[in-house]
């Protein structure tokens, strides 16, 4: 690949020379009610604020303006639910009408600009419409992943103090119904803050019991709102620096961290990313296979594709089991998708079930140009498998809930750079990424350290945590003065490519040697019989820590697991060296994960170390932790239970 054909270096250098000019030019792609007085004010907020004085509305830019410029009949949302057996296409014009009506309903329920609204919703069009309706009237939405445990939901209600909660009777998983309403009722019972109203979407799979005076039927209220013109509202002007939403991440103190996203900077950066990072044009079909409860769903199911005038796929299903490992190929083929963004764990699941990719042959993927992976470290083995199977670029990129869009990636729209497996490539314009040691000193090429971003952060990144400025400073800015701490560890090579090897607490110290668990996972994943794996450090009286590897075997592997375990130990010894002290590989049926697909390494480590642990609120299947505990005990490791 000819690196000279990429305009990346020119764009990045242009941003370095004139950061304000770079983002002011990008801001011209957004419709403003009042243009910003400047691109950036370094004296505002904690580290500065983007587009001060600008007045705008995110819903207007995502919906209204496309109807006004001729995209009214174009599909805005394609809802595809194999678990519900339902499909629905919503045009931009229909999306505008539905959003206006729900905005009117929220106004009738007393919601004003600046009020908070919690959404506790499954992957249905109403969830997207609810986010846009809040944005339309200047309310601040906080989406809580549907099916979250009652106590976790309660902590978020108490922190955000919403006037209204929008929810549904149930969510759908393969083979089971998750009843949301009892969880919501229990959460409100636990809360100090009692929301005045709940608006409930009754799904046909399970009807919820309503509480008189508090709960309202969504469909009935909508029908009533349709006949009242006063319920249809124009977009409310908000400051660029006003909050658009709060998205909670788990905190270490029991109180969740409410990541704040503003209106102006968020729109500018996300609109820029669709063209220059993802290489997608308005009118094309784009799919982020995530959930609206996670940051990927916020940024790349809802806001970025709609801001850019694309068609966004809203998929309620799994990569495997709905009905098989060809589910993703079916969706891409049926809807003419040009780009897919998903987590590596989805492709590891597909690879495990259909390692030869035989199901792909029955689908037409001629429009499919690019696969993007993010959300966790993408092991090279999975990347290479996907490249060979699909014969298209497979792009790893790296970002966080806090940043809202990619810190590092391979900019397809600027012209791709050569791919280096194991690297999300290079820093995006706006991010000055450094690798530092414990004393904040930069380290040389190929030297492991903490990955930090020089302040100020670019547009769309969090300006603070919800009502917790000091907590934001302490948690993200204090350890490395002048920098934002990503809490990820890694290195840069001589070409400036970034390698993210894991969270800083995933760097283990074996007899004084700092080793990356991500690097060991890379080696284990290269074994032909291994579908996915996880490596963590286990306490050791002599060496401090020693690595322990969990491996999940591919479907159809008939060899004895202990034989493959021995081969994995030998592979680490050969590729990493005896210094790794890797002596324990354990074959398990599956790995414990969050509902977004991230492996719960921290909880696994506590089990292995024999420490007390609690059931993570985000876990997909609690039974897996018992399986992990049993597997460890079978090898003489771990003791206590949760």
**pLDDT digit string, tens, across residues 281-334:** 999 999 999 999 999 999 999 999 999 999 999 999 999 999 999 999 999 999
Cross-strand partners of 490: 449, 500
pLDDT of residue 619: 83
Does residue 588 register a pLDDT over 50? Answer: yes
The answer to whether position 622 is within a domain reads yes
The answer to whether position 331 is within a domain reads no
Question: Do 517 and 469 share a structural domain?
Answer: no
Please state the domain count of the chain.
2
The answer to whether position 388 is within a domain reads no
Phi first, then psi: give them for residue 371, nearest 5 degrees.
Answer: -110, 125
252 — pLDDT class (breaks 50, 70, 90): very low
Does residue 512 register a pLDDT over 80? Answer: no
What whole-number distance in Å separates Cα of residue 441 and Cα of residue 434?
9
Report helix, strand or coil for 351.
Answer: helix
Does residue 503 register a pLDDT over 80? Answer: no
Question: Do 274 and 203 share a structural domain?
Answer: yes
Average pLDDT, the chain: 92
Residues 84-115 have pLDDT tens digits of: 999 999 999 999 999 999 999 999 999 999 99
pLDDT of residue 641: 45
pLDDT of residue 574: 83
Among 606, 604, 595, CA closest to 625: 604
The answer to whether position 545 is within a domain reads yes
pLDDT of residue 184: 97
The secondary element (H helix, E strand) that includes residue 89 is strand 86-91
Range of the domain at 93: 3-317+397-490
Torsional sign, CA 61, 64, 70, 75 = positive
Share of the chain above pLDDT 90, in %: 79
pLDDT of residue 224: 79
Does residue 377 register a pLDDT over 50? Answer: yes
Structure tokens at 220: 């009935």
What whole-number distance in Å separates Cα of residue 580 and Cα of residue 585?
13
Does residue 1 register a pLDDT over 50? Answer: no
The answer to whether position 502 is within a domain reads no
Does residue 230 register a pLDDT over 70? Answer: no
Give the end of a domain, one of 456, 490, 524. Answer: 490
Q: Residue 133: which CATH number?
A: 3.40.50.12780
Q: Residue 552: which CATH number?
A: 3.30.300.30
Give the end of a domain, one of 432, 459, 490. Answer: 490
33 — pLDDT class (breaks 50, 70, 90): very high
Question: Do 251 and 109 share a structural domain?
Answer: yes
Question: Do 574 and 427 share a structural domain?
Answer: no
The answer to whether position 342 is within a domain reads no
Sequence-distant (6+) residues with CB within 8 A of 560 are none
Task: Tell which wins on pLDDT, 331 or 377.
Answer: 331
Question: Do 150 and 16 share a structural domain?
Answer: yes
pLDDT of residue 232: 64
Question: Do 521 and 460 share a structural domain?
Answer: no
Question: Do 172 and 294 share a structural domain?
Answer: yes
Question: Do 60 and 192 share a structural domain?
Answer: yes
4 — pLDDT class (breaks 50, 70, 90): low
Q: ω into residue 323 within 30 of 0, thus cis?
A: yes
Torsion of CA 600, 601, 607, 608, to 10 degrees: 150
Residues 449-458 have pLDDT tens digits of: 999 999 999 9
Question: Do 184 and 107 share a structural domain?
Answer: yes
Sequence-distant (6+) residues with CB within 8 A of 119 are 127, 130, 131, 141, 142, 143, 144, 165, 166, 167, 292
User: Model's pTM, two decimal places?
Assistant: 0.85
The answer to whether position 639 is within a domain reads no
pLDDT of residue 163: 98
Share of the chain above pLDDT 70, in %: 96
The secondary element (H helix, E strand) that includes residue 572 is helix 561-575
- For the chain, what percentages of helix, strand and coil (3-state, to nearest 5) are there? 35, 25, 40
Question: Do 516 and 480 share a structural domain?
Answer: no
Give the end of a domain, one of 455, 490, 525. Answer: 490
Question: Do 521 and 457 share a structural domain?
Answer: no
What whole-number distance in Å separates Cα of residue 496 and Cα of residue 320?
36
* Average pLDDT of span 342-368: 94
Question: Do 423 and 530 share a structural domain?
Answer: no
The answer to whether position 35 is within a domain reads yes
pLDDT of residue 3: 47
């Amino acid at each position: 690949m000819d690196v000279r054909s990429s305009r990346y270096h020119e764009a990045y250098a242009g941003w370095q020379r004139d950061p304000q000019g770079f983002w002011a030019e990008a801001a011209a792609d957004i419709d403003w009610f009042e243009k910003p007085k400047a691109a950036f004010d370094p004296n505002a907020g904690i580290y500065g604020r983007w587009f001060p004085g600008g007045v705008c509305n995110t819903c207007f830019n995502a919906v209204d303006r496309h109807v006004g410029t001729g995209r009214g009949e174009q599909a805005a949302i394609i809802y595809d639910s194999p678990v519900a057996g339902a499909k629905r296409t919503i045009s931009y014009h229909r999306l505008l009408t539905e959003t206006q009506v729900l905005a009117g309903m929220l106004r009738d329920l007393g919601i004003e600009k600046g009020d908070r609204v919690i959404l506790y919703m499954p992957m249905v069009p109403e969830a997207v419409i609810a986010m846009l309706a809040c944005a339309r009237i200047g309310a601040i939405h906080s989406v809580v992943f549907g099916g979250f445990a009652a106590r976790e939901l309660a902590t978020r209600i108490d922190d955000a103090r919403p006037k209204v909660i929008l929810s549904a009777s149930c969510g759908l998983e393969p083979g089971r119904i998750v009843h949301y309403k009892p969880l919501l009722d229990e959460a409100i019972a636990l809360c100090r803050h009692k929301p005045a109203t709940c608006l409930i979407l009754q799904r046909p799979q399970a009807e919820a019991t309503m509480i008189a005076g508090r709960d309202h039927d969504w469909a009935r209220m909508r029908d009533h709102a349709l006949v009242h013109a006063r319920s249809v509202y124009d977009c409310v002007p908000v400051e660029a620096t006003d909050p658009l939403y709060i998205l909670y991440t788990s905190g270490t103190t029991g109180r969740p961290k409410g990541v704040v996203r503003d209106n102006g900077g968020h729109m500018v950066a996300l609109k820029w990313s669709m063209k220059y990072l993802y290489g997608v044009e308005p009118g094309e079909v784009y799919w982020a296979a995530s959930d609206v409860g996670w940051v990927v769903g916020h940024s790349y199911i809802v806001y970025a594709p709609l801001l850019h005038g694309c068609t966004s796929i809203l998929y309620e299903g799994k990569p495997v089991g709905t009905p098989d490992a060809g589910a993703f190929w079916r969706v891409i083929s049926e809807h003419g998708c040009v780009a897919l963004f998903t987590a590596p764990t989805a492709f590891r699941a597909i690879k495990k079930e259909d390692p030869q990719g035989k199901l792909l042959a029955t689908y037409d993927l001629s429009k499919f140009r690019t696969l993007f992976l993010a959300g966790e470290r993408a092991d090279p083995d999975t990347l290479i498998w996907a490249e060979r199977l699909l014969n298209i670029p497979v792009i790893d990129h790296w970002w966080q809930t806090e940043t809202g869009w990619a810190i590092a990636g391979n900019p397809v729209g600027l012209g791709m750079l050569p791919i280096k497996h194991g690297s999300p490539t290079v820093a995006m314009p706006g991010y000055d990424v450094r690798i530092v040691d414990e004393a904040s000193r930069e380290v040389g090429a190929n030297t492991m350290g903490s990955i930090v971003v020089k302040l100020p952060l670019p547009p769309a990144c969090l300006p603070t945590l919800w009502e917790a400025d000091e907590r934001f400073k302490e948690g993200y800015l204090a350890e490395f003065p002048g920098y934002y701490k990503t809490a990820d560890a890694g290195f840069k090579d001589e070409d400036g490519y970034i390698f993210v090897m894991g969270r800083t607490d995933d760097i283990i110290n074996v007899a004084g040697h700092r080793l990356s668990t991500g690097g060991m996972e890379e080696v284990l994943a290269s074994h032909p019989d291994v579908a996915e794996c996880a490596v963590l450090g286990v306490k050791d009286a002599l060496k401090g820590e020693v690595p322990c590897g969990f491996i999940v075997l591919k479907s159809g592997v008939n060899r004895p697991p202990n034989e493959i375990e021995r081969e994995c130990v030998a592979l680490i010894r050969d590729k990493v060296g005896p210094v790794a002290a890797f002596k324990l590989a354990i074959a398990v049926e599956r790995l414990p994960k969050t509902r977004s697909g991230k492996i719960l390494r921290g909880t696994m480590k506590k089990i292995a170390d024999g420490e007390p642990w609690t059931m993570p609120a985000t876990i997909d299947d609690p039974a897996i932790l018992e399986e992990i505990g049993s597997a460890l005990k079978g090898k003489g490791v771990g003791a206590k239970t949760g």
